[in-house]
A and B are shown apart, each in its own frame.
With several copies, the nearest count.
Chain A
Amino acid sequence: MQTHKAKRVEITIEAVMQSRLTDALKDAGVTGYTILPVLGGSGRSGEWSRAGQVSRAQGMAQVICIIQPERLDALLEGAFAVVERHIGVVTVTDCDVLRAERF
């Protein structure tokens, strides 16, 4: 089938910052994103798990954003401004998409 090159950006970020991140993505011209729940994780700031929480303070979420390659830089600038002072991970992968007119 006909596919098109695109970039898949996955941002793991604290739940409290999620709406700020998606606002920044929209400002950076992103047309869509998908949010996955995160059960737990570990990093420089220690280990956490959803079971160990009474508050939203420690939860994380993963925001996935498929975009055309030429828009990657704008997206990363926008995302970085939000993520900068916060914990979290940003990865970019090459991918092919169906229905490229959507992105």
Chain B
Amino acid sequence: MDQILSLAATNLLSPIILSFVLGVIAALARSDLSIPEAVAKGMSIYLLFAIGFKGGVSVASHGVDLTLALSLIAGMALSALLPLIAFSLLQIMTGLSRLDAAAVAAHYGSISIVTFVAATSVLQSSGIASEGYMVAVAAAMEAPAILSALWLISRGGSDARRMDGELMREIMLNGSIVLLVGAFFIGGITGADGLAKIESFIVSPFQGVLCLFLLDMGLVAGRGLRGGGQVMKPGVIAFGILMPLIGSVAGLGVGLLLGLSTGGVALFMVLSASASYIAVPAAMRVALPEANPSIYLTLSLGVTFPFNLTLGIPLYVAVASALTGG
């Protein structure tokens, strides 16, 4: 318990979290502080490239094993199954329509890569190692949740065809996945030599870029909270905090079963606990345009993301440490 609290305190007072808080405050105070869309997108490309590359380099030096394949499969299964739990929970806890509930559920099966990045940086400063291929697991968990959610809706019967080949292609080949997986392969192929060449670009400034990126996330989350406040009923908010806890327990079980390292288990918890706010919202606008975007965006970005960033990550890391004896 002490460890959790001290980890939480260190985490809460890190420049990364404080930058996020600054963003939230600025947005709530209606400051005109804003980060240009192109710069935010540039930073996210940088973060994806760096995290993918480093994961690939780590796999190159540790070698590929069976656990890698099993982890990928387990991640996809989690992504596909978590929306079913989320959907039931939403029907119990909230008055959301089937459509809105399915759209929200899709977000919670999928993952938030920035939450993942923030967790790796907490692990790193705590000196806890993790499997490099967890970044590939992250990529594998992005899409299955969307299919689950659309299946939930089509089962409801209202109208059938929500998914077409074009949408499928868009989901599987969305920019973040391609960049993350591509950089992972580049890192895997070029290994430590490649990393040496671009280390002072993708390693040294990483934490600083993450600060500015989280400042922007804070601005967006704060604006969302300001605008989306009216749709945020107590039951919905409670779901946004309960669901990541449930997800993290599922991730914990899977991580322990696979026999991952402390860091690997913690990251599996983080991935399962986190909710998408990029790939899934875009897919939902195409496939379920009648679902209300304020609900899923505010919930994912305004409730679950801050919860995971501030309290969730230290909690998951502490639990993983305790249970793996790490």
Chain A positions near chain B (C-beta within 8 angstroms) = 14, 16-17, 20, 45-47, 50-58, 85-87
The answer to whether B277 and A86 have CB atoms under 8 Å apart is: no
The answer to whether B223 and A55 have CB atoms under 8 Å apart is: no
Count class of interface residues, chain B = 20 to 34
The dominant DSSP class at the B interface is: helix
User: Which residue in A46, A50, A54 is a CB contact (below 8 Å) of B277?
Assistant: A54
Question: Does any Cβ of A come within 8 Å of B220's Cβ?
Answer: yes
Q: Which residue on chain A has the smallest CB distance to residue B305?
A: A54
Q: Which residue on chain B has the smallest CB distance to residue A19?
A: B166
Q: Which residue on chain A has the smallest CB distance to residue B35?
A: A51
The answer to whether A54 and B217 have CB atoms under 8 Å apart is: yes
8 Å CB interface, B290-322 against A: 290, 292-294, 297, 301
What is the bound-complex CA distance between A20 and B164, given in angstroms?
12
What is the bound-complex CA distance between A46 and B292, given in angstroms?
10
Question: Does any Cβ of A come within 8 Å of B282's Cβ?
Answer: yes
Question: Does any Cβ of A come within 8 Å of B284's Cβ?
Answer: yes
The answer to whether A53 and B282 have CB atoms under 8 Å apart is: no
Q: Which residue on chain B has the smallest CB distance to residue A86?
A: B289
Q: Which of A20, A45, A46, A50 has the most CB of B within 10 A?
A: A46
What is the bound-complex CA distance between A87 and B288, given in angstroms?
12
Q: Which residue on chain B has the smallest CB distance to residue A47?
A: B227
The answer to whether A52 and B282 have CB atoms under 8 Å apart is: no
The answer to whether B293 and A53 have CB atoms under 8 Å apart is: no
Question: Does any Cβ of A come within 8 Å of B52's Cβ?
Answer: no
The answer to whether B220 and A54 have CB atoms under 8 Å apart is: yes
Question: Does any Cβ of A come within 8 Å of B10's Cβ?
Answer: no
12 additional A-B residue pairs with CB within 8 Å, beyond A51-B34, A52-B219, A58-B297: A51-B37, A51-B219, A52-B227, A54-B44, A54-B216, A54-B217, A54-B277, A55-B279, A55-B281, A58-B281, A58-B285, A86-B289
Q: Which residue on chain B has the smallest CB distance to residue A84?
A: B289
The answer to whether A52 and B220 have CB atoms under 8 Å apart is: yes
The answer to whether B282 and A57 have CB atoms under 8 Å apart is: yes
